[in-house]
Amino acid sequence: MSTESRAGDRNLEGILHYLNDYLAIREQQTIRINPGVAGVINDMVWVQVTNLRRVMSKTKAFGPERLRVADILASDDEAKRRSLFHHADQNSIIFEIMNKAEDQHRGRVSEMPIHDMRTLFRALNPALEVLVELIQHWILWDLPDAADMYNFDEQMKRCAYVRTHDLSEAVLHQYMIPLHKRPSDTITRAEVIRFELHRLEVILNRFLTRCGEEEPYQMIIRRDELPGSAANRELLLVAKHLMTLEHLESAPSEPLEAQLIEYYAQVLNCPADQVTRKRAIDYENRVVANGKRALRELLDADRNVGEPYNYKHAQAQQRKQMFEAEQSACLAAVQALNGGNPSPSDATATQPDH
């Protein structure tokens, strides 16, 4: 696999990681409002994300250049990023994610009863068609934000690297074009640090702007589980028994440890010489099965959760704090490289909007 291909896969998987986080919270929010969809929504989201993975792996043409959608989303080329979400642009991915209305299919495939995800799930249950459209809207709302969350965290790593490592001449030379330098000009590490910090600020402000423009119906409402939840305690107990079960099954021919024999003699209420690995495994399987049933009931009944809040707005506040800490570290590094004297551009360094 080439370096370029590995980078593309990293961008694809990285963006989907943040998108899946958003979609998981939206699923929870939807199930709280309509418990009846709990049995189907996870499969439906999976299908839509699988389609999105295919879309993000495609290339789009920009003149003689062809770029993968995932790599465009991970880039700082704002014009190309906007084109992906523009209804009239030939490179738009909107109608590759969102199924077109029936009249837009007329004369081509609409004569076939099943021709997209909407009609597939309509065939299973007419009520599911609306849920498909909802999930597709979620993806269109959340994909740009997921890309910016990925880009921000990757850029944080880049900023930390350039301010803590010496940069070779080959690395410095890569900044000639971005910094608009002539071949005879020199590039300093301080200039690179300021450049990467500015990139971080651009990504943050883009995310903050979109959060400020978010409509109420688009928000992700999250409710965090409070410490001490019965469901949380049961989950930890099931996990403990699963670890024990894995340990027992890992060495089927080995004799049981003395402390395990003593423990299972008590819980099975039998003499120690009657404790076998098979009886211990059977016991753990029963405990895990009972624990899973109890956990499902607790998850249905447990309401030990905190107050609702806007998840993306909370992310925005967290990323602002991360930016401010990294900004201070970068400016301190620049000042150290300048012999303890701040450069003129440092004195006018901007804070992120709002």
Number of domains in the chain: 2
**Which of residues 201, 222, 243 is at a domain's end?**
222
- pLDDT score of 347: 43
Q: 124 and 209 in one domain?
A: yes
Query: Are 180 and 250 in a shared domain?
Result: no
92 and 130 in a single domain? The answer is yes
In a domain, 218, yes or no: yes
Q: Is residue 174 part of a domain?
A: yes
Q: Are residues 170 and 208 in the same domain?
A: yes
Give the DSSP letter of residue 225. Answer: B
Radius of gyration of the chain measured on its C-alpha atoms: 27
Judge if 68 and 108 occupy the same domain.
yes
SS3 for 343?
A: coil
Question: What is the structure's pLDDT at 319?
Answer: 96
* Domain-embedded: residue 323: no
Same domain, yes or no, for 181 and 244? no
Per-residue model confidence (pLDDT) at position 252: 78
**Position 15 in a domain:** yes
Same domain, yes or no, for 234 and 213? no
Instruction: Examine the domain organization and report whether 208 and 244 are in the same domain.
Output: no
Domain boundary among 222, 253, 283: 222
For 183-216, letters b (16+ CB in 10 Å) and e give: eeeebbbbbbbbebbebbbebbbbbbeebeeeee
Residue 66, domain extent: 3-222
Side-chain half-sphere exposure of 350, counting CA atoms within 13 A: 11
- pLDDT per residue, tens digit, the chain (354 aa), is 455 555 558 899 999 999 999 999 999 889 888 888 888 888 889 999 999 999 999 999 998 999 999 999 999 899 999 999 998 899 999 999 988 765 554 555 455 677 777 777 777 777 778 898 999 999 999 999 999 999 999 999 999 999 999 999 999 999 999 999 988 889 999 999 999 999 999 999 999 999 999 999 999 999 887 665 666 677 778 888 888 888 888 877 788 888 888 888 888 888 888 888 888 889 989 988 888 887 777 666 655 667 889 999 999 999 999 999 999 999 999 999 887 665 555 544 455 555
**What is the structure's pLDDT at 210?**
94
pLDDT value at residue 228: 58
Instruction: With beta carbons less than 8 A apart as the criterion, state whether 311 and 25 touch.
Output: yes
Same domain for 53 and 153: yes
Distances (CA, A) of 2 to 5, 6, 73, 297: 5, 6, 20, 49
Distance CA 203, CA 151 (A): 7
Q: What is the pTM of this model?
A: 0.72
- Looking at residue 229, its pLDDT comes to 63
Specify whether 213 is located in the same domain as 256.
Answer: no
Furthest-apart CA atoms within the chain: distance in Å? 86
Residues 162 and 285 in one domain: no
Q: Does 146 lie in the same domain as 280?
A: no
Residue 352 lies in a domain: no
In a domain, residue 205? The reply is yes
Give the end of a domain, one of 222, 241, 267.
Answer: 222
